Amino acid sequence: MAKKKQTESNKPKVNNPNVMGLRAAVVEQPITDTLEVNYMPYAMSVIVSRAIPEIDGFKPSHRKLLYTMYKMGLLTGARTKSANIVGQTMRLNPHGDAAIYDTMVRLSRGYGALLTPFVDSKGNFGKAYSRDMAWAAPRYTEAKLTTICNELFRDIDGDTVDFVDNYDNTMKEPALLPTTFPNILVSANSGIAVGMASQFCGFNLKEVCDTTVAYLKNPDCDLFETLLAPDFPTGGELIVDTNALREIYETGRGSVRVRAKYRYVKSENLIEIYEIPYSTTVEAILDKVAELIKAGKAKEIADMRDETDLSGLKLTIDLKRGVDPDKLMARLYKQTTLEDSFPCNFNVLIAGMPRVLGVRAILEEWTAWRTESVRRRIFYILGKRKEKLHLLKGLKRILLDIDKAIRIIRETEVEAEVIPNLMIGFGIDQIQAEYVAEIKLRNINKEYILKRVAETADLEEEIEDLEDILSSPRRVKKIIVDELNAVSKKYGEPRKTTLVYAHEIETAVEEEEAPEYGVHIFLSKEGYFKKITPQSLRMSGEQKFKEGDSLRQSFETTSNAEIMFFTDQAQVYKTRLGEFDDTKASVLGDYLPGKLKMDSGENVIYAVLPGDYSGSLLFFFENGKAARVELKAYQTTSNRRKLTGAYSDKSPLAAMLRIDEETELAVYSTEPRCLVFHTALLAPKATRSAQGVGVMTLKPKWHLERVEPLEATPIQNKSRYRVRSLPAAGALLRQEDSEEQQMEIL
């Protein structure tokens, strides 16, 4: 108590009554109570009512959408605007139009995410295999239900499933859909709940139906005989791993490996990829291959592009000469998502409880649920037949004396007493009497009544048969089997994902990566290029150049760095230093126009090591203009590629510089004049071939000659030449600021 009082006395006093009242309202609550009272209801709502599919294979969002379309008459009618469907579905689904339309897209034939789509779409619904191919807005697209939805709603009005109130208690919706086939195994499904997730791969409809039939006939049947492996709407090749499949079938957890399909077009020396794994996208594949090319790990590839069109998916890889396409693809399978794994987690709601089940356990639960649905349907039909038989038995009573029935009705003075009088006169109950009283006058003849009474024998026979079905599990099972066989025959399609076995697969031989090491590179004015290691450079003497040639540029970098060579024909050639052999200072080196297969008469004028493509390039032209282009404008996905339009060709190029940070430059003309300006005055251009802006104002007979960083010049009086705005004429170059004067002093 003393400790408690001491603690309370240490608390700061608050004189504000409003704050004191607020503190008084705060009640301490253990974190476990908070989780139980506040968080658990939310968690259970997400698990039970949103993220985990139920035994019919649908989440609530799927079910609400499909049932709305069914009630709109879209099972047999014409298509309607998707916006109309979305609006109607909001009566059942309160999560908003965007979420509803996303659900419709995933169920559609156009999107291609399901083996058996339930929405017959018209318009742009995007593609499951593309990350960037967005679907059109709902006001532009149309939809209806596909024919297989007949199997989802068969006898839904025959008390086959329970109906519950919607979120505002204004209408009823089905708790489950009475699917006549195990849709839970046919439709791929995924969801993330709170503390758990679900991931179903799709199986072929025909295989699932055949497997269910085999299971109904023998619960201990071998599932592998009929259910070969998962099947995916994007096709591809599934690598059969019997142990992995057995684990999935038994436990509901595991993964399968799927890889892309390709064909080699020999006449054009290219590879066409036309089917990819279900779990990846074309953009993810292109990005990964681009990374390999930039890192020099896919030197066999000249170019890769997406040629997907209305005829379907197609990724094209242009190969260099002498490349083995099968060996290249074996490597790409290993290094990219062209081969990917699909994880399985068969978490399904059974009676409101999430359970991870294997295939056999799912079939057991589905057949038990379907058996109950069929029994409820039979019981509903039986009740209707008994009601009709009861009415016909009452009609049979009046057959003995039709005139008496007419006389009773005619002699009854009060309408309310017609039914009681008929009940007394013929010994029938109220329901039968009401049925007799409602018969039209034109039907009160022996022929009509005899025809109705003749149905009695057929009804009694049908009722006896229905009661026998209800009491015979074998006959109920036969009904389910017949329905499964009918679905398999009517809607079954061949597998889209083919099966391959491990011994059929060519494994990629792991190539040893060349170690990265430091090098010195040298570029001469006539286009000779040398890559020399530091050790070799220390041991050798002077650099050897062709007579009349001299050094243009030199760098220190690593042995596989990317390099760009700009030429006098406004083109740039990109490659990696790994393409060049290490050499010595005593040799001329590689002649770049020949090595890079340049155009006739083309010469190298500048080399750039782009690195991470930060910084800018400055191009100065003889007409006094300059263009600033960010290095990112030259970033491509190819290892070696010629880019045209590297800079403007409207005026001859006088100088070219790379800057990584703002600095001051000295610009010289042939007059001779000089001006000094800060590079911040030059704004970056959007295109590589921009003509630039005026920097130096020139008289007609003079032109811009050269550009140098200010700190590298011999200029003494820098303020004389410095300008604050562009363009400017600059100042006449004094002798003491010229390079010639500096040479004389030396």
Among 42, 70, 111, 140, the active-site one is 140
Q: Who's near 316: CB < 8 A, 6+ residues apart?
A: 270, 271, 272, 273, 304, 305, 306, 307
Cα 664 to Cα 249: distance, rounded to the nearest angstrom: 71
Confidence at residue 559, expressed as pLDDT on a 0 to 100 scale: 87
Is 229 a member of any domain?
A: no
Residues 486 and 574 in one domain: no
Q: Over 50: is that where the pLDDT of 746 sits?
A: no
Cα 328 to Cα 324: distance, rounded to the nearest angstrom: 6
CATH code of the domain in which 626 resides: 2.120.10.90
Q: Over 70: is that where the pLDDT of 637 sits?
A: no
**Span 454-499, pLDDT tens digits:** 788 889 999 999 999 999 999 999 999 999 999 999 999 999 999 9
Torsion angle of the four alpha carbons 421, 426, 427, 429, in this order, in degrees rounded to the nearest 10: -60
Residues 333 and 428 in one domain: no
Residues 60 and 174 in one domain: yes
Residues 553 and 566 in one domain: yes
Confidence at residue 406, expressed as pLDDT on a 0 to 100 scale: 83
Q: Which long-range contacts (CB under 8 A, 24 or more apart) does 473-479 make?
A: 473/371, 476/371, 476/374, 476/375, 476/378, 477/216, 477/371, 479/374
CB atoms within 10 A of CB 357: 20
Residues 136 and 119 in one domain: yes
Confidence at residue 510, expressed as pLDDT on a 0 to 100 scale: 52
Confidence at residue 88, expressed as pLDDT on a 0 to 100 scale: 95
**Average pLDDT score over residue span 528-557:** 88
Residues 413 and 326 in one domain: no
CATH code of the domain in which 84 resides: 3.90.199.10
CB atoms within 10 A of CB 471: 9
Nearest to residue 484, comparing CAs of 585, 371, 344, 613?
371
CATH code of the domain in which 282 resides: 3.30.1360.40
Is 395 a member of any domain?
A: yes
Confidence at residue 424, expressed as pLDDT on a 0 to 100 scale: 87
Total count of domains within the chain: 5
In terms of residue numbers, what domain contains 587?
Answer: 514-609
Q: Which of 14 and 133 is assigned the larger pLDDT?
A: 133
Q: Which amino acid is at 309?
A: D
Q: Is 613 a catalytic residue?
A: no
Q: Over 50: is that where the pLDDT of 100 sits?
A: yes
Q: Who's near 292: CB < 8 A, 6+ residues apart?
A: 298, 332, 335, 336
Is 3 a member of any domain?
A: no
Q: Over 80: is that where the pLDDT of 18 sits?
A: no
Q: Which of 609, 629, 644 is the last residue of a domain?
A: 609
Structure tokens belonging to residue 217:
């006939």
Residues 692 and 578 in one domain: no
Is 712 a member of any domain?
A: yes
Q: Over 90: is that where the pLDDT of 37 sits?
A: no
Is 13 a member of any domain?
A: no
Contact 117, 205 (CB under 8 A): no
**Span 638-666, pLDDT tens digits:** 555 788 889 999 999 999 999 999 999 99
Q: Which of 216 and 7 is assigned the larger pLDDT?
A: 216
Q: Who's near 24: CB < 8 A, 6+ residues apart?
A: none
Residues 392 and 289 in one domain: no
pTM (2 d.p.): 0.69
Residues 484 and 394 in one domain: yes
The mean pLDDT of the chain is 88
Cα 612 to Cα 633: distance, rounded to the nearest angstrom: 12
Is 281 a member of any domain?
A: yes
Q: Over 80: is that where the pLDDT of 554 sits?
A: yes
**Span 269-318, pLDDT tens digits:** 999 999 999 999 999 999 999 988 888 788 889 999 999 988 889 999 99
Minimum mean pLDDT range among 159-163, 536-540, 634-638: 634-638
Minimum mean pLDDT range among 4-8, 239-243, 601-605: 4-8
Residues 623 and 604 in one domain: no
Residues 573 and 588 in one domain: yes
Is 723 a member of any domain?
A: yes
Is 400 a member of any domain?
A: yes
**Span 566-592, pLDDT tens digits:** 999 999 998 888 888 889 888 889 999
Residues 632 and 592 in one domain: no
Sign of CA dihedral 178, 184, 188, 190: positive
**Average pLDDT score over residue span 146-169:** 94
